[in-house]
Amino acid sequence: MGGDGWRKRLGPAVPIAPGARVDRFEVFFDLVFVFSFFIITRATATDINSTNLLHALLVLAVLWWCWVVHSVVATRIRLGEGFVPVLMVVGMAALFTFALALPQAFRTPEKNAAGPMVAALSYVVIRVVHLALYLHIVRDNPRERKQLLRFGPELVISTGLLLVAALLPPQIADTGWAGPTRDGLWAVVVLLQYGTGQFVGTWGWNVTSAEHWTERYDLILIIALGESVISVGVGSNLLGQPPTWPAVAAAILGIVFTAALWWVHYDWVGPAARIALHAAKGQPRVRMARDAYAYLYLPMIAGIIMFALGAERIVHMIADPHVGPEVQVHPPAVPLLFGGVMVYLCGNMLFQLRTLHTVTWTRVGTLLALAAGIPIGDRLPGLATLGLLTAICVGLVAVEVVAFAESRDALHQLVVHERTSHEQYESGWRARWNEPEPGEPST
């Protein structure tokens, strides 16, 4: 009986339908990815310097590529049905272990030899799980099997390089070269993964459900925004001490400017991009899905982690009862805070350009205002710095609400009409369940 036996008992893999939505297991799986974002933020926050920021970006890039591969698998089969959840739980356990090992992944060899190896082996398991599922999907399609083979070198070389990055540094006699060698190997992995995605091409791939794809990425982005709020709250030392009015004000400002950044994407850019992906067919749809979502969501999430680090530093200082609210912010909090928002906005503008072929003057102006705000914020007290950033972000939202009122209303009406029509169709389809079978008397 072997493997076929347990697969038959649990049920077959269920393919994605053209109008499919994200299932509950996918959201459950995302929680482990969000935990990984949290760990990256926490590990970097303990000692913010250029080296640790580089390590955070390298880990985030490798982790995000794993997410991209995961999302590609999820475009073909339902992850929560049949035998698939069993394999996905194995992947979740490996991803959780990978996240736990991230703080030690770049430790010097003499301090921790196990951390880099645990991270590398966990990553190998995650990729093997995804590979096994995709091989099962394309087993009867020679064209897709051929396309999958084109990604084989990336899988073998990238996982191999991570293992070398864990094993080689302890063998280097000159410890001064051990760290740069490991960092260089991780950088090669990142270049290999994202370069492969561009140069191999999209021939043979397909995005069956544009709704599923866009919803999948929008959910991970909004969860990452929520994680930034949690990170600031946990790391700011607000827990376990009496709240002060400056600390409460700082917390409120953090929520307001994060909500403004949510609005920047989800008010009209995200919905309009979803419609654009629906309208695209064949290879143009796959290329848009790859460029706009798989690639350009990465800088947005990197920006979220950056401004979470900066906001945490500032809120921690404001909440400290031994520090007065008039004290200026210590570096590098302000560049991280404003720079993170700038990276988020740049990623969002590139996303808008790729999907909608437009760039709005309001966002270009906001980037200039944020750049000018960095030297100003360096000279202000922490609460005033947060207030300045919040004013810029809320100002962007307010100007766009007024300046683009007509186009926003038209888009929102289109979305409501689409959802109403879809609900009417679903209601009509489900009403058939109450119809009598042929030959049965009606009641």
Kind plus residue range of the DSSP H or E element containing 167? helix 152-167
Looking at per-residue pLDDT, the higher value among 16 and 61 belongs to: 61
Percent of the chain predicted with pLDDT > 90: 41
Same domain? 381 vs 240: yes
Last residue of one domain, picked from the residues 205, 227, 249: 205
Same structural domain, 275 and 186: no
431 inside domain:
no
Tens digits of residue pLDDT in 73-118: 888 888 888 888 888 999 999 999 998 888 888 876 555 567 788 8
Which three-class secondary structure state does DSSP give residue 166?
helix
Judge whether 441 lies within some domain.
Answer: no
pLDDT at residue number 15: 82
Distances, alpha carbon 170 to alpha carbons 59, 119, 196, 352, in Å: 20, 16, 30, 45
- The CA distance from 244 to 255, in Å, is 17
Residue 1: per-residue pLDDT:
43
| 112 and 257, same domain (yes or no) | no
Confidence tier at 370 by pLDDT (50, 70, 90)? very high
Amino acid at 360: T
* pLDDT averaged over every residue in the chain: 85
> What is the DSSP code (8-state) at residue 110?
T
175 shares its domain with 73: yes
Name the residue range of residue 37's domain: 1-205
Shared domain for 348 and 329, answered yes or no, is yes
- Flag whether pLDDT at 418 surpasses 70: yes
Task: Tell me the two tokens of residue 97.
Answer: 């272990």
CATH of the domain at 259: 1.20.1410
Query: Are 149 and 191 within one domain?
Result: yes
Number of domain units in the chain: 2
197 and 149 housed in the same domain: yes
238 pLDDT tier (thresholds 50, 70, 90):
low
| Range in 65-69, 175-179, 193-197 the model is least confident about | 175-179
Segment 412-428 mean pLDDT:
80
| Residue, of 271 and 82, whose pLDDT is higher | 271
Q: Does residue 9 surpass a pLDDT of 70?
A: no
Q: Do residues 267 and 363 both lie within one domain?
A: yes
Q: Is the pTM of this model over 0.85?
A: yes
pLDDT band for position 325 (50/70/90)?
low
Question: In a 3-state reduction of DSSP, which class is residue 438?
Answer: coil
